[in-house]
Amino acid sequence: MATRTDDQSSENAIEVSFEFFPPKTEKMEQTLWASIEKLAPLNPRFVSVTYGAGGSTRERTHSTVKRIVDETSLKPAAHLTCVEATREEIDGVIQDYWDAGIRHIVALRGDPPSGIGEKYVPFDGGYANAAELAAGITKIAPFEISVGCYPEKHPESASYDADLDLLKAKIDGGATRAISQFFVETDNFLRFVDRARSAGIDIPIVPGIMPVGNVAGYLRMSAATGTSVPDWFKERFDGLDDDPETRQLVALSVAAEQVQKLADQGIQQFHLYTLNRAETAFALCHILGVRPDKSLAA
Residues involved in catalysis: 19
Query: Of 210, 193, 211, 104, which Cα lies nearest the Cα of 149?
Result: 193
Give CA torsion, residues 205, 162, 120, 276, to 10 deg.
Answer: -10
Give the contacts of 129 (CB within 8 A, at least 6 positions apart): 82, 109, 122, 166
Give CA torsion, residues 240, 246, 248, 249, to 10 deg.
Answer: -130
**Residue 18, SS3 per DSSP:** strand
Q: Supply the DSSP symbol for 113.
A: T
Give the full edge-to-edge strand order of the sheet including 104-108. 205-206, 177-180, 144-149, 104-108, 76-81, 47-49, 15-20, 269-273, 208-209
**Contact by Cβ (8 Å): 147, 178:** yes
Give the contacts of 242 (CB within 8 A, at least 6 positions apart): none
**Contact by Cβ (8 Å): 12, 289:** no
Query: Of 93, 94, 105, 9, which Cα lies nearest the Cα of 48?
Result: 105
Helix or strand run (H / E) with residue 105: strand 104-108
Give the contacts of 122 (CB within 8 A, at least 6 positions apart): 82, 128, 129
Q: What angle do CA 21, 142, 124 make, to 5 degrees?
A: 65
